[in-house]
Amino acid sequence: MFLVGLSGGIASGKSTVVSILRELGCAVIDADVIARQVVQRGTPAYSQILFYFGEEILLKNGELDREKLGAIIFSNPEKRALLNSITHPPIRRVMLRQTLYYFFLGYKYVILDIPMLFESRTLTRYMKHTVLVYCDPQTQVERLIRRSGLSREEVQKRLVAQLPIDSKLPLADHVIDNSGDRESTRRHVLQLHHRLESSLGYLPTRIAAVTVAAGMLALVWSLLRRVWQ
């Protein structure tokens, strides 16, 4: 099995690409979904966030107010780094468990949907392939304004927190252009899916796993024979 890192810019249409990949039966691990899970009430990350950011970032029901928290971290790089230091370790642990789950199910590859993949650079070393979901910057801004209802100034703050999408192009092994309609995007995803399915990149891990399993079985068999003799 090998890992495929999927990323993009905010409002680049990554969720559209992920939905198509899921339709094709691909194993996708969504870091955003996990990020919401690890900060639910009662988790260690929730307690740490409350300690450092105060109760003003809570909704009436005690859940985190993501809008308030977002406004804080997107205007303060130090607060953003603090939040990342709290949430990233548990997110990575859950991603690792889910990756192992898909490995034992026999998937050839697993897609890790990581919004800040190219910003952090720490996870790209583990990826056999990296994929960028791209749309032109102007389309990106207009999509985000329509989707979020934020002002153009607030949108720019969020975009500044990420690398400019054009600067990510040379960092990616594959690019899916999502500037057009869904059918055009679907064609790009199908081409990528075919290329990944045809790859033999999964063989080294699979062979290593079989070798280790065979060695363990041989050891157990040897021990059992000694007991029975």
Kindly report, residue by residue over 197-219, the tens digit of the pLDDT.
887 655 555 555 456 555 666 65
Instruction: Round to whole Å and give the CA distance between 55 and 41.
Output: 13
CATH number at residue 57: 3.40.50.300
Residues 177 and 149 reside in one and the same domain: yes
Q: Are residues 95 and 190 in the same domain?
A: yes
90 close to 45: Cβ distance less than 8 angstroms: yes
pLDDT tens-digit profile of 23-36?
999 999 999 999 99
- Based on the fold, state whether residues 76 and 131 are members of the same structural domain: yes
The span from the CA of 120 to the CA of 150, in Å, is 26
Reference 37, options 80, 91, 89; nearest CA is: 91
Same domain, 137 and 220: no
* 138 within 8 A of 68, measured Cβ to Cβ: no
Q: How high is the pLDDT of residue 71?
A: 86
Report pLDDT for 136: 87
Label residue 117 left, alpha or beta by phi (over 0 means left) and psi (-120 to 50 means alpha): alpha
Q: What pLDDT is recorded for position 115?
A: 87
pTM score, two decimals? 0.79
| 151 and 41 co-located in one domain | yes
Q: Do 132 and 114 sit in the same domain of this protein?
A: yes
Same domain, 208 and 192: no
Can you list the residues of the chain whose pLDDT is less than 50?
209
Q: Which domain holds residue 28?
A: 2-198
Q: Which residues are 131's β-sheet partners?
A: 6, 174
Pair (223, 123) in one structural domain? no
**Do 141 and 229 lie in a common domain?**
no
3-state secondary structure of 10: coil
Domain check: are 102 and 207 in the same one?
A: no
DSSP conformation letters of 168-188: HGGG-SEEEE-SS-HHHHHHH
Q: Say if residues 179 and 106 touch (Cβ distance below 8 Å).
A: no
Structural domains in the chain (count): 2
Q: Are residues 135 and 217 in the same domain?
A: no
Q: Please, how many CA atoms are within 13 Å of residue 126, restricted to the half-sphere of its CB?
A: 17
